[in-house]
Amino acid sequence: MFFAILWKNKDISLKELEFLEPTNIEIDKNLVFFDTKFPERLKLLAWITKFGKVFDFEYLWDILFGKDLVWVKTQEFGIFLKKNFGVKRFKIIDEIKTDLEIKEKWVEIFNIDKQNIWIVQWYQNISLYENIDFEKPVSGMQIGMMPSKLAHIMINIWLSNIEQKENITIYDPFVGFGTTGFLANYLGYDFIWSDINITPFKQNLKRWKESSFLQNNRLIDFKRDINTPFQKSFLKNVNLIVTEWWLGPLITHKTRLHQQQQNFIKILDIYKNFIQNVNDFYDQITCVFTVPVYFGKDFYAVDYLKNFCHRFNLDCQVLDEIYMRTWQTVGRAIFVVTKK
């Protein structure tokens, strides 16, 4: 049996977890237990802070052998290990936080009972997300930046709904600074991108190609306005479209309602054209994209786009939970639109 520590956006975490095809699921607050036939996929998850495995108690000596320092959840637990298992030192760490020293040298025991021990074995790949979000040479808030963890989640949500998980090509028609492309490449998928301005991503791509995260997969680019119909024949090879358009101008608590509504009119026009063009070009495709939500409230945009998709008999799912932090004024509703 495996366990995972759910972080913020718990419902989105559980949706992404479906990528593992979990069985025998048990949830206790931010802790989830499950079985899976695909443990190798654990390291490919984005929105779960820690992953581990439940071992029989008898293996505890083997796990602690050669470990001078153990990280634990409570003082009482650490004292127990020192008295009964010869542990020299222990440190306490918060269950949702990670530490580079733990990953590289030591062992973290999340819990223990009379029959089982819970050993943390995987952590979020923080260095990957830092590289993509903060270390790219070209960025800016004028067009918005999709968080790399979110792009990763969106890919995994799609993968959880399909049987074919090989020979995948991902396309982002609003590539911006390149977040989706970097994640797609790191995960080993071919990637096609376009935008009305592809220069920022090309500049960031130069640095990516010098990083340790680069994979040897195809990268194809072309300039394109999403309002125009799809024409490139190689786009027919795309399995998945993952994208996010502009979230709109800066929104504060002083922004008036009529201005918010005007923003959404422009945003909806773009997404309507996008959905129309996707439907006209593809016989079969899945799109995972976000739509802005201001102050955690849906100003009719989500329902409007759902109804627009239904006009074309497209299957449209919207995750109930908004991807948003408490102090932010703009969140993201995640859409999964499928043409079968």
Tell me the CATH number at 194. 3.40.50.150
Q: Considering 91, 123, 155, which residue would you say is the last residue of a domain?
A: 123
Dump pLDDT digits (tens) for 106-138: 788 877 676 888 888 888 888 999 999 988 888
Query: For residue 111, what pLDDT is reported?
Result: 73
Q: What is the pLDDT of residues 61-79, one digit of tens each?
A: 888 877 777 878 788 888 8
What does the pLDDT read at residue 240? 96
Which of 5-9, 12-16, 142-146 is the most confident on average? 12-16
CATH number at residue 107: 3.30.2130
For residue 144, the model assigns a pLDDT of 56
Q: Average pLDDT over the chain, rounded to whole?
A: 88
From its phi and psi, is residue 188 left (phi > 0), alpha (psi between -120 and 50) or beta? left
**What residue numbers bound the domain in which 170 lies?**
126-339
**End position of a domain, from candidates 60, 92, 123:** 123
Q: What is the DSSP string of 179-238?
A: HHHHHHHHTT-EEEEEES--HHHHHHHHHHTTSTT--S--EEEEE--TTSPP--GGGGG-
Closest to 192 (Cα-Cα) out of 215, 214, 217, 211: 217
- The confidence band for 143, taking pLDDT boundaries of 50, 70 and 90, is very low
Both 85 and 154 in one domain: the answer is no
Q: What is the pLDDT of residue 309?
A: 97
